Structure 1
Amino acid sequence: MVKHPKFTNNLIKESSPYLLQHAHNPVNWEAWNAEALQRAKEENKLILISIGYAACHWCHVMEHECFEDEDVARTMNSHFINIKVDREERPDIDHIYMDALQMMTGSGGWPLNILALPDGRPFWGATFVKKQEWIQVLNQLQELYTNDSQKIIGYAENMAHGLKEINTVAIEKNSDIITVSDIKKIVKDWSTYFDTFLGGYKRAPKFMMPVNLNFLLHYGHSQKDEAINEYVHTTLTRMAWGGIFDHVGGGFSRYSVDTKWHVPHFEKMLYDNGLLISLYAKAYAATKNTLYKNVVQQSISFIEEELLDVSNGFYSSLDADSLTETGKLVEGAFYVWEEKQLQKILGENYPLFADFYSINTYGFWEEDKYVLIRDAEATEIGNKHNLSEEQVFNIITKCLNSLKLERKKRDKPRLDDKILTSWNGLALKGLTDAYRYLGNNKYLEMAQQNAHFILNKLVDKEGGLYHNHKNGKSTISGFLEDYAAVIDGFISLYEVSYDETWLTHSLKLTHYVLDNFSDTSTGLFFFTSNKEEALIRKTLEVADNVIPSSNSIMAHNLLKLSKYFPEENIEIRLNQIMNTMQKSITDNPQNHANWLHLSLLMSQDYYEVVVIGENFEPICKSIMNSYLPNAIFAASNSKTSNLPLLMNRHAEKKTLIYVCKHGTCQLPVEETKEALKLVMAQF
């Protein structure tokens, strides 16, 4: 007999896995929509906005303690219009109310719970709240609104003004670019926060910050700064050794709660893994460290096995929580091990495995549970066991395969199977970098299939992008993050496939952004299209976080496209943007690492490498697997290409390599080594 849920609310009509998780709460939840917002105004009811995402552990805890409780539901349903928001579906809403929470409390996080006036202006916010405190605060605020609404309205008015004020980017009338010497000083000051022993910053929790490391990798490499190179290597190694990396199944979790990258919040996000695949591929190119290569390979295996849809789009995430053998939902249950389990599964190989992955006080978590973490090189472990490094890795690989088979018997974490355009763009970029530097043709095939999925399923009739795809349907107008990430991915796909289709689409999408997202006063781009109705403000997203800001990715795109299409005068817009952002970058470089990286690129020699002739593919591969962050590539065997960099350069029975700056080229060469010397001169 089928057991029907006791309660069902309007979220049952949604496609978001996070919203559907709440569809059987006794709370009368609504999704964010015009009808619910209008009803709040008509009934003069406060709006309770609760924002989270499917893989969020504390969102689940608050759901269980509060939103599944009938006493809580009575309080919420009596006085409020209750709106649930998936922050990944609606980052535009999340931006505004997260800023509000940080203004109110000094910190942020999810679940993000906001009380707002009927017109959506916020006046109170909190993250996780226990049941009795939740009921108490809701009753108190509703009573205050009934008895002294002007007090709340006044506070909300001030908050709305503050939300607009903090998102203002001051325009400085200063045409000087940020120089390499400026950047050196910035990095020197910044480096006082670095944990040079365990990597990352000197604090817990530790986030991986691939944006920062991508900039520092280039900076250390170009400036021959051994201290920075060592710091980047230490961080990348410790992250790859840590429990934050899934040694059994590949892929990274979001962050670690400790200083040694050991115990993560176990949710695994597509965006982290897309960015980290790209970063580790570049680090492998720069160092040839096989650890980095292995991380790339295992992380791609993870997204292929767990996040790849049959349509070739990538799903969003795996939950932090999973079921134990007794059916209890527990964070990390899928990933952790008890010592006796490992001994039974691994048998005679257990002692080596225990030394390799710290089944000791270093690797202990809680309640007899261990999270696998390395703390030594394989040679050191091998010496202890009288084994060569190769023998150690052969045994460890065998052990990990055994654990993976055992883990398949466990209940998997829940999957968030919505497909987000922006995150797919990040994954596409990661795959192109992996192919470029590791040379595995499968990665190029995956990238091409994903790019075709984006073109076929995520582009609307007007040439714009959708943000979300689920159950075969694409919904929600695209945000700047969608355009920026996809343009970046398409440019990178052109550079490894030499198919000009992807450059053409990059330029088309860029024109769409210029036409529909522009803020004429700053040169920057609004997060939402100018076609869309504004919320409390039109957000300018400029601060780089774990994911680089949509404006900084877009600015990098403009730099590359200005080299491919100089006749478009894109460089004028780029210079306006960098002029606007200069003060923000220099005043707060830690939150503008992708901008700082762009400043480094613009202050150094930046090359256009053109390869034309019948042998262009092997020559390109030979050049491009070197770490060359200060160059773009164009290549063809065609006499008729319309790409400005390729026009009038074809020579019969020759493959020529041109190294150019600002469209001015040195005499062509035919040897890869000669071309590399010209591009790598500053290194």
Structure 2
Amino acid sequence: MKGILGLLCLPLLFFSCKESSKKVPQDFAYTNNLVHETSPYLLQHAHNPVNWQPWTDTIYNAAKKENKLVVLSIGYSTCHWCHKMEEETFTDIPTAEFMNTNFINVKVDREERPDVDKVYMTAVQLMNGSGGWPLNVITLPNGKPIYGGTYHSKEEWNGVLKQFNELYKSDSLKLYAYADKVALGIEEVNLAPSTKNLNAISRDSLIKATTTWKLKWDTQHGGTIADQKFVLPTSLNFLMNYGVIENDLTVNNFAQKTLDSIASSGIIDHIDGGFYRYSTVPDWRIPHFEKMLYDNAQIMALYAKAYKRYKTSRYKEIVYAIDAFLTENMLHDGGGYYAALDADTDGEEGKYYTWSKDELHTLLGAEYDLFAAYYKLDPKNTLENGRYVLQHTASDATFCTSNSLSSEKLKQLKNGWKKTLKKARSKRTYPSKDDKIITSWNSLLINGYVEAYKTFKDESFLEKAKAINRFILENCYENNTLIHSYKKGGKKTAGFLEDYATLANANINLYSATLNPEYLNTAIALTKTTDQKFYDVESGFYRFKEEDNLISKIIPTHDGVFDSPNATVAENLFLLGHILYHDAYSARAKKMTQTMAPLLQENLEGYTKWGCLALHLSSTYYEIAVVGSNALSLTQELNSKFLANTLVIGSETASPIAIYKDRFEDDKTYIYVCLNNSCKLPVTSVPEALQQIEYNIEKSNFNLAF
């Protein structure tokens, strides 16, 4: 199909997404229907001469009535190439006049409507082999796409418009036949694998899949070999767990190598904290400068967990720096967190974050040379305009030795440098902010803070996790129904599968950290609603949205920078199955994972959330239930350990929950280490419990001083 589709399409121009800052004048020559929206992305296009319409589920009714093709342009507020195309093309009056005359023109914020984005991104990937944003699609009046691409110059875009407008008028039957093929391809891609032949999840098959993945590793810089690299927390979580369970030193070395490479790279903001969206080069030096909440949420959890595994002090610094960045820059007064920060200021990418040599000389004076050595001020670590992207020296201890510094003196210097550079930044134009509060992304941050609390026992992390959960339940949840994102006065778009799945998962984790059964009850309620709204009986998986009113049903299973919501649902079912002794939940989680087995064999790196579930099913999985008045203290101690394939929960009182039944005694606290609901003899101390766990990292033979 790909070859046929390509015949009608101009070559795809793929660009990454970073938004440019744009000041809008107060007097507008043009205003379109986007002016009534609250999405920052849509509002940025509200005064284009193009007669943009916001997406509605009835948009194609108008297209059929007027017999017009539809231009569907999808992006988000921190997308540089989206706004470059706006400035060059969508503000051009002749272009706008042609679009207004011949097309119905629709703008979509992909973060508000990820369902629309997923369907039409699939179309563009089928047509061209890759995709990106801005996502510009031309569809028939029935919604089926006939053209798709990303960024276009004004000349290219006008050529596309005229070509398809003429084709529609002269040979619409050909376009309808072509669009039917595209729509069929979209449906095939977005459906779940067949459940006809379930595959056993075996230890040997997982070892084989991991061995195949190893061939794609970048052993020099970490991560999978690629020109551009994203931090993929679930992949690294899988490797850390797998390395312990299989006693695989190569995997353990590689996971730590990747974590260390990222930790000292330019993808981190070493002054204000927080991670940029991804690296444009294989060695992580030069980032795209957007800061996304979902990245920072997952990376916080990753490095908190990695600290338990490797005890590297920089990992702890990263967690606290992400927290500081989010608290200072992304926190809504009510407890939720905003979606993203722009890459560009004053029309220049990375200007807020980067430094010229002259600036640094002026700011640092006599300390410049030491600063330059520590933060790797090398010409190769610069943008095209010569501005430096700060990197981090590989080892503070080595740096201290090489420069005759004590660790305390280096700490003082670093604090002083950061204070000086933060003050200088405060005089710059601050990046624009996407102030939507997205339910699923905030749920990921709950998990980030919960993992940080478990690792460092810092109550402030737990309080922030609770506050986010409270904000979502108060502002985004009513009558067992979630909305996807919150903004005062904004549209209340119905929540998607990812919202229910991640919030349920976050509440399971809150329950593990606090032992408060209210969180468990919330997770159970959300899981039941997920079944009611999204379960697809035919496939045994879950639809991305409740109503099938797009051109294709979406059943997402692939893991990327955001875990597949189906994999998250399966994890929730697996965990609740173990806590509640709910056999039907356990069986469904197992069946979903078994169905994914062939894809794990072919491409484990694309399905690592499923890989984590496969680890649970193919290896010994422990339930640790702590019951008694001292349960909270003992679970905190257990949660501070790196325990692969282990669920830690507890109850301070007698509880009807299955895993605690008949195990409570007054004035005593017991730790039960269980396998498949069958428990070993109870013990009273954490060291005794750890001795009962086969994959106890403290008993392993790994030499972690790599």
Question: What is the TM-score normalised by the length of structure 1?
Answer: 0.96
Select 1:679's aligned residue among 688, 693, 699.
Answer: 693
**Which residue number corresponds to residue 555 of structure 1?**
570
**Which residue number corresponds to residue 76 of structure 2?**
53
Secondary structure of the equivalent of 2:671?
A: strand
Output the amino acid matched with 2:239: L
CA RMSD of aligned residues (A): 1.5
Tell me whether 1:33 sits opposite 2:56 in the alignment. yes
Output the amino acid matched with 2:509: S
Tell me whether 1:519 sits opposite 2:536 in the alignment. yes
Tell me whether 1:611 sits opposite 2:626 in the alignment. yes
1:334 Cα deviation (Å)? 0.6
1:623 Cα deviation (Å)? 1.2
**Native 8 Å contact 2:57 2:549 kept in 1:** no
Distance 1:176 1:122 in 2: 35
Alignment of 1:85-164 (within 5 A): 85-164=108-187
**Native 8 Å contact 1:266 1:319 kept in 2:** yes
**Native 8 Å contact 2:229 2:280 kept in 1:** yes
**Native 8 Å contact 1:49 1:84 kept in 2:** yes
| Number of residue equivalences | 673
Distance 1:470 1:570 in 2: 35
Distance 1:604 1:19 in 2: 48
Tell me whether 1:305 sits opposite 2:328 in the alignment. yes
Distance 1:243 1:263 in 2: 6
**Which residue number corresponds to residue 343 of structure 1?**
361
After alignment, is 387-396 or 109-118 more displaced?
Answer: 387-396
1:94 Cα deviation (Å)? 0.5
**Native 8 Å contact 2:557 2:564 kept in 1:** yes
Secondary structure of the equivalent of 2:73?
A: strand
**Which residue number corresponds to residue 14 of structure 2?**
none
Cα deviation 1:552-575 (Å, max 9, x = unaligned): 111111110101111462112112
**Native 8 Å contact 2:274 2:321 kept in 1:** yes
**Native 8 Å contact 1:358 1:373 kept in 2:** yes
Tell me whether 1:424 sits opposite 2:442 in the alignment. yes
1:398 Cα deviation (Å)? 1.7
Distance 1:567 1:164 in 2: 33
**Native 8 Å contact 1:466 1:474 kept in 2:** no
Output the amino acid matched with 2:279: S
Distance 1:669 1:168 in 2: 47
Distance 1:460 1:62 in 2: 39
Secondary structure of the equivalent of 1:475?
A: coil
Cα deviation 1:298-347 (Å, max 9, x = unaligned): 01111111111011111100011112xxxxx1111110001111121122
Identity %: 39
Select 1:439's aligned residue among 442, 457, 465.
Answer: 457
Cα deviation 1:92-128 (Å, max 9, x = unaligned): 1111100000111111000000000011100101100
**Which residue number corresponds to residue 497 of structure 1?**
514
Distance 2:26 2:329 in 1: 30
Tell me whether 1:412 sits opposite 2:421 in the alignment. no
Tell me whether 1:223 sits opposite 2:223 in the alignment. no
Distance 2:594 2:615 in 1: 14
Secondary structure of the equivalent of 1:183?
A: helix
**Which residue number corresponds to residue 13 of structure 2?**
none
Output the amino acid matched with 1:518: Y
**Native 8 Å contact 2:293 2:339 kept in 1:** yes
**Which residue number corresponds to residue 622 of structure 1?**
637
Secondary structure of the equivalent of 1:55?
A: coil
**Which residue number corresponds to residue 353 of structure 1?**
371
Output the amino acid matched with 1:513: T
Output the amino acid matched with 2:628: G
Cα deviation 1:45-88 (Å, max 9, x = unaligned): 00000000111111111111111211221121111000000111
Cα deviation 1:196-255 (Å, max 9, x = unaligned): 111112221111111211111111122221211111111111111111100011111111
Q: 1:512 to 1:413 in 2, by over 3 A?
A: same
Higher RCO (C-alpha under 8 Å, 6+ residues apart): 2
**Which residue number corresponds to residue 326 of structure 1?**
none
Output the amino acid matched with 2:604: P
**Native 8 Å contact 2:576 2:582 kept in 1:** no
Q: 1:665 to 1:339 in 2, by over 3 A?
A: same
Distance 1:8 1:14 in 2: 12
In structure 2, list runs of 5 or more residues that go unmatched. 1-24, 698-706
In structure 1, list runs of 5 or more residues that go unmatched. 324-328
Distance 2:26 2:114 in 1: 35
Output the amino acid matched with 1:386: S
Tell me whether 1:402 sits opposite 2:420 in the alignment. yes
1:487 Cα deviation (Å)? 0.8
Distance 1:160 1:636 in 2: 51
After alignment, is 628-637 or 129-138 more displaced?
Answer: 628-637
1:383 Cα deviation (Å)? 2.6
Distance 2:199 2:186 in 1: 30
After alignment, is 292-301 or 224-233 more displaced?
Answer: 224-233
**Which residue number corresponds to residue 27 of structure 2?**
4
Alignment of 1:169-184 (within 5 A): 169-184=192-207
**Which residue number corresponds to residue 67 of structure 2?**
44
Secondary structure of the equivalent of 1:279?
A: helix
1:472 Cα deviation (Å)? 5.6
**Native 8 Å contact 2:266 2:389 kept in 1:** yes
Distance 2:245 2:408 in 1: 33
**Native 8 Å contact 2:624 2:672 kept in 1:** yes
Output the amino acid matched with 2:358: K
Select 1:585's aligned residue among 575, 591, 600.
Answer: 600
Tell me whether 1:654 sits opposite 2:671 in the alignment. no
1:393 Cα deviation (Å)? 2.9
Cα deviation 1:179-210 (Å, max 9, x = unaligned): 22211111111111111111112221111111
**Native 8 Å contact 1:357 1:363 kept in 2:** no
Distance 2:152 2:258 in 1: 35
1:375 Cα deviation (Å)? 4.4
**Which residue number corresponds to residue 506 of structure 1?**
523
**Which residue number corresponds to residue 700 of structure 2?**
none
**Which residue number corresponds to residue 638 of structure 1?**
653
Secondary structure of the equivalent of 1:260?
A: coil
Tell me whether 1:370 sits opposite 2:398 in the alignment. no
